Amino acid sequence: MTPGARIATAIEILSEVLAHPTRPADAVVGDYLRQRKFIGGGDRRSIAERVYGVLRRRAQIEWWLEHARHPGEISPRMRVFADGVLNDGLVVDRMEKTIDAGRYRPASLTDMERATLRRLEGHTLDHPAQPRATRLNIPQWVEPHLEAAFGDGFEREVAALAQPAPVDLRANPLKGDRGQARRALAEDDIEAVATKLSPLGLRLKARASVVGTQAFRDGLIEIQDEGSQLVGLLVGAKPGMQVVDYCAGAGGKTLAIAATMENKGRVVACDVSAFRLERSAQRLRRAGVHNVERRALDAEGRKWLKRHAGKFDRVLVDAPCTGIGTWRRNPDARWTLRPEDVAELPVKQAEIVAAAARLVKPGGRLIYATCSLLPVENEERVAAFLAGDPGFAAVPVSEVWKETVGTPFPSAATSGDSLRLTPARHGTDGFFVAILERKV
């Protein structure tokens, strides 16, 4: 593709993302590119990087367009052009030669667009007059929530959430070990290094697609953030146990749990969405997992839950949350998050935990996890649950880590008895984990 064609494609995809805010950007980008197999790998990376980059830098780009007194709509097209000038240092005259209205290229600049972009020439994204939330590219309303969560580390942590995430993989013990996975990837010219915290993890040295590799097709690897891998390990599922993954979704943690159980025992993957559960079927087959049953939490599923109260050794609740810890991977999510979500989600989380806790047998454990970084969804939820149900007690995660993970426990990762991982401190997505044991 020509540079102009890549820009035109980025504008088209960004338009789709902004027009459908309830759809994750990665789904929009993925669908668009899958339908256009003629776009080569290098072009795909360039286009995706531009789209995600504009979403990461959205607040600053919009601030500059307003500062430059752009009189028209702040369109996807203007966002992409402004990003080229401010982030890449492009000169307008040179840009115009790239977008010359030729076939597959954007229409020529209007006089209004040209005038605005010329006012941006020579500037970078940062400006001393920008409010802190703008400079960090987060919604202003969420700033006090994150400041309360991080204190003195606020700016460092939020800046890390704006960086692109690495590609992490989990070696599947049912098919081979981490060394075998690394060697198999090398045969496809993909270099990976062992992760520091997860004993099953590999991190790619450079971004690459692994879905076409033999290692992926054989089920030797799964794409999974290192933090998510640690959640699966901390469940402490062992061969022969009865385990529930209560909010299983498409099954990433279900796969990890089944692998640690060596396909012995029983894993029940539950979710309110039968569609999401159905999507996990192919992943389970590819991974060689055959001790998982899927159960939708419809009316029949809720009856099943009542009949199986107090029968499970481990129950994982990977609760629906604001997802702030995954902003590196989902930069659009910071702009679709609403203030009412922070008020409504903790109520839903409390209901889910209360329901899931009934499944835990005496001596069994409830593992509560989120990919949020807000105390109201994490520490406060656990404290409220324990206050309302004295039959459970917190187990220090650092102790469980020794039994289940085995690598050195990460520094600055505890929040009371719980675990809190962040991109800035640990290089993972943001995750919170608390382990609660039923005493009676």
pLDDT tens for 261-279 read 999 999 999 999 888 888 8
Hey, how many other C-beta atoms are within 10 angstroms of the C-beta on 93?
10
- CA 31, distance to chain mean position in Å, is 18
- Among 3.40.50.150, 3.20.20.70, 2.80.10.50, 3.30.540.10, name the CATH number for the domain at 226-438: 3.40.50.150
Name the residues annotated as catalytic: 371
Fold exhibited by the domain 168-223? Alpha-Beta Plaits (3.30.70)
What are the beta bridge partners of residue 343? none
Q: What percent of the chain has pLDDT over 90?
A: 82
Q: What is the pLDDT of residue 102?
A: 67
* Residue 112 contacts residue 71 (beta carbons within 8 Å): yes
Spell out the SS3 assignment of the chain: CCHHHHHHHHHHHHHHHHHCCCCCHHHHHHHHHHCCCCCCHHHHHHHHHHHHHHHHCHHHHHHHHHHCCCCCCCCHHHHHHHHHHHHHCCCHHHHHHHCCCCCCCCCCCCHHHHHHHHHHCCCCCCCCCCCHHHHCCCCHHHHHHHHHHHHHHHHHHHHHHCCCCCCEEEECCCCCCHHHHHHHHHHCCCCEEECCCCCCEEEECCCCCCCCCHHHHCCCEEECCHHHHHHHHHCCCCCCCEEEECCCCCCHHHHHHHHHCCCCCEEEEEECCHHHHHHHHHHHHHHCCCCEEEEECCHHHHHHHHHCCCCEEEEEEECCCCCHHHCCCCCCHHHHCCHHHHHHHHHHHHHHHHHHHCCEEEEEEEEEEECCCCHHHCHHHHHHHHHHCCCEEEECHHHHHHHHCCCCCCCCCEECCEEEECHHHHCCCCEEEEEEEECC
Domain boundaries, the chain: 3-130, 168-223, 226-438
Q: Measure Cα distances from 49 to 20, 53, 54, 91, 333 in Å.
A: 19, 6, 8, 20, 16
pTM: 0.93
Q: How far apart are the first and last CA of the chain?
A: 65
Give the pLDDT confidence of 102-155 residue by residue, as tens digits: 677 888 899 999 999 999 999 999 999 999 999 999 999 999 999 999 999 999
- Contacts (Cβ under 8 Å, ≥6 apart) of 39: 1, 9, 33, 47
Q: What is the pLDDT of residue 124?
A: 97
Q: What is the pLDDT of residue 41?
A: 83
* Residue 271 contacts residue 252 (beta carbons within 8 Å): no
Give the pLDDT confidence of 152-183 residue by residue, as tens digits: 999 999 999 999 999 999 999 999 999 999 99
Give the pLDDT confidence of 46-95 residue by residue, as tens digits: 999 999 999 999 999 999 999 999 998 899 999 999 999 999 999 999 88
What average pLDDT does range 422-434 have in this prediction? 96
Convert 364-374 to b/e letters by CB count within 10 Å (16 or more is b): bbbbbbbbbbb
Q: Measure Cα distances from 74 to 15, 255, 372 in Å.
A: 11, 43, 31
- pLDDT category of residue 321 using cuts at 50, 70 and 90: very high
Give the pLDDT confidence of 333-365 residue by residue, as tens digits: 999 999 999 999 999 999 999 999 999 999 999
Q: What is the pLDDT of residue 96?
A: 87
CATH number for region 3-130: 1.10.940
